[in-house]
Structure 1
Amino acid sequence: MPAFTPLATTNEKNHANDVVWSNDDEDDNVGQIEENRSLIGAIFNSRNAQHAKLFVLAALALIHFNYLNDFLVKFAAMDQLTQRVEYMKPVTMDYRVDVASVKYTFQGFIDYKKNLWMTVGAMCASLATTASLLTIYSGPRDVFNRAAMAVIRIFDLCAFLFIAFLLFARISAAVVIDHTTQHALRCAARISTNLVAELGNGLSCTIEHRDELPVCSRAIIESIFPVKLIEYLIILCILTGAYIGLAYLIEWCIRHFFPPTHAKLTPISAISRNLIVGSKGSDNSVLIAA
């Protein structure tokens, strides 16, 4: 009589080691993928990007606070000088040219002040979006529409990069103030020495070089951001904005193209083994002649 052996028993003997090796290989692959994904997610994480932006905004706020009060004092002194010079009676042939020079320099102060307050406003808007996003990240995110989250993130990135654009525009006003202040004060001195003397007394400076008092033009120029500092802040804002945008992009790619696995996948060999073992106990078991 030919001997018959159950197929299930043969498969159990032949594939026992295959199941073990298959489990080990797939566990290693899944573990490596999860490790790489967690590393990238830890570096380019939306929460970490918002925290980095908070540090940059804090640095910008401290620098603005350090220069703001001194600049407003110098701005008020130049504003008073310009208004009084404009309504003085002509005493020289070049009166109109001198007045135009003073007004041109003061226009640079006006542009700088407008840019200053617009930058503060952009910083406040960026801070508000940061607080909103961090609140959303710490709470249940399912209640928020994905489109609304995308709009908030776009507005957040634009508001922060707008700070860099304003700082870039501020360079032109700073260059005008730096190059024309001394000439404007000398023009004002030709129109009226009393007005320039009052400016010097108010700011504790002098028009011409003296040992005991600083030069008024240098004191006024030092009340604004140095151009090198503005350039540094522009680079800092651009790099931080690029980091935020890259964190948003990588987070979106991981969520759509590499979704997280909540359970390990069952190997194909284990599935076939379970099917065969289950069929062994039934009446329709397959028998193969040896």
Structure 2
Amino acid sequence: MPAFTPLAATNEKNRPLDAIWSNEEDDEEQETVVEKRGIVAKLFNSSNAQHAKLLVLAVLALVHFYYLNDFLVKFAAVDEMSQDARYIKASGPNYAMDMASVRYTFQGFIDYKKNLWMTVGAMCASLATTASLLTIYSGPRDAFNRAAMIVIRVFDLCAFLFISFLLFARISSAVVINHTTQHSLRAASRISSNIVNDLANTLSCTVEPRDELPICSRQIIDSIFPVKLIEYLIILCLLTGAYIGLAYLIEWCIRHFFPPTHEKLTPISAISRNLVASSRCSSDNSVLIAA
């Protein structure tokens, strides 16, 4: 008679109801693993880091958009003045010094414009890598995607931090423009008053304070990023880059040193199901033994 007991237990294990319960318990285990992820892991999740970087890139883009058009108008006027000054016949004892002052200030404008477009290019590259990373995050995690993610992450961090170095280099050009613009306009007026009048008419300003017209040098300086704003953007980019790097590090540490575990306390519902299953199994076994 006892030989029928393993058969009864085997039949009981293959019951559809127990299969459903086992599937539900697996789902509960998966949900418990997800819930056991701490606040730090959620805060420094790589997808969250990429969304934070997108927010910083949006701030940079808005600031550039606000200043870009006005600066390009002022740059074109200063460029025309500098080109016209080259074709004027040398006159006066200080012509060489005045011409050097005009060229030095205009070179600062050229460096600032180059830096501006390089920053825009770096933002586009960083935006493209962010889109690629977010696409991989939502896709399957096969070996190719993991290798591609590592490569894109390295390029992503370098491209984003490159914006900080470009902004830091822009400070020198902004300082040159701030300190030499007024002196350069006065030097240009000593070379020829016509080229300065053309610039004043284009920008609707005046070189020397008179009437109610704004000062040309002040208009030109206001068209570039203030140094304090550039410093703020540098700090913002560096903090965001550090946050992205820390997110990558925490994600790697969690995956390698603190993998998710399936060990957990058995839920009350699972205990009740096991009790019901064991009672039913014992009743069936007793029936078979009695038979």
TM-score category of the 2 structures, normalised to the smaller one: 0.7 to 0.9
2:205 corresponds to 1:205? yes
Residue correspondence of structure 1 range 151-230 to structure 2 within 5 A: 151-230=151-230
- Residue 84 of structure 1 is matched in structure 2 by 84
3-state SS, counterpart of residue 251 of structure 2 = helix
Given that 2:136 and 2:145 are in contact with CA atoms closer than 8 Å, whether structure 1 keeps it comes out as no
Q: 1:144: how far off?
A: 2.7
1:148 & 1:54 partners in 2: Cα distance? 20
- Residue 4 of structure 1 is matched in structure 2 by none
1:115 & 1:223 partners in 2: Cα distance? 15
2:256 & 2:231 partners in 1: Cα distance? 38
Residue correspondence of structure 1 range 46-195 to structure 2 within 5 A: 46-142=46-142, 144-195=144-195
TM-score (norm 2): 0.78
Q: Partner amino acid for 2:58?
A: A
Q: Partner amino acid for 1:73?
A: V
Q: Partner amino acid for 1:91?
A: S
Q: 1:211: how far off?
A: 3.6
Of 184-193 and 147-156, more deviation after overlay is shown by: 147-156
2:262 & 2:126 partners in 1: Cα distance? 35
Q: 1:210: how far off?
A: 2.0
Q: 1:156: how far off?
A: 0.4
- Residue 252 of structure 2 is matched in structure 1 by 252
Q: 1:243: how far off?
A: 0.5
Q: 1:261: how far off?
A: 1.8
Q: Deviations over 1:173-204 (max 9, x none)?
A: 00000000000000000010011011000000
3-state SS, counterpart of residue 89 of structure 1 = coil
- Residue 45 of structure 1 is matched in structure 2 by 45
Q: 1:264: how far off?
A: 4.3
3-state SS, counterpart of residue 142 of structure 2 = coil
Residue correspondence of structure 1 range 238-277 to structure 2 within 5 A: 238-262=238-262, 264=264
Q: Partner amino acid for 2:246?
A: L
Q: Deviations over 1:246-279 (max 9, x none)?
A: 000000000000111245499xxxxxxxxxxxxx
3-state SS, counterpart of residue 205 of structure 1 = coil
Note the residue ranges of structure 1 that are not aligned, 5 or more in a row.
Answer: 1-30, 267-290
Q: 1:36: how far off?
A: 6.3
2:128 & 2:263 partners in 1: Cα distance? 38
Q: 1:160: how far off?
A: 0.4
Given that 2:45 and 2:247 are in contact with CA atoms closer than 8 Å, whether structure 1 keeps it comes out as yes
3-state SS, counterpart of residue 146 of structure 1 = helix
TM-score (norm 1): 0.78
1:175 & 1:169 partners in 2: Cα distance? 11
1:90 & 1:38 partners in 2: Cα distance? 74
Q: Partner amino acid for 2:185?
A: L
1:193 & 1:219 partners in 2: Cα distance? 19
Cα RMSD of the aligned pairs, angstroms, is: 1.9
Q: 1:138: how far off?
A: 1.0
1:36 & 1:141 partners in 2: Cα distance? 21
Q: Partner amino acid for 1:109?
A: F
Q: Partner amino acid for 1:193?
A: S
2:77 & 2:109 partners in 1: Cα distance? 11
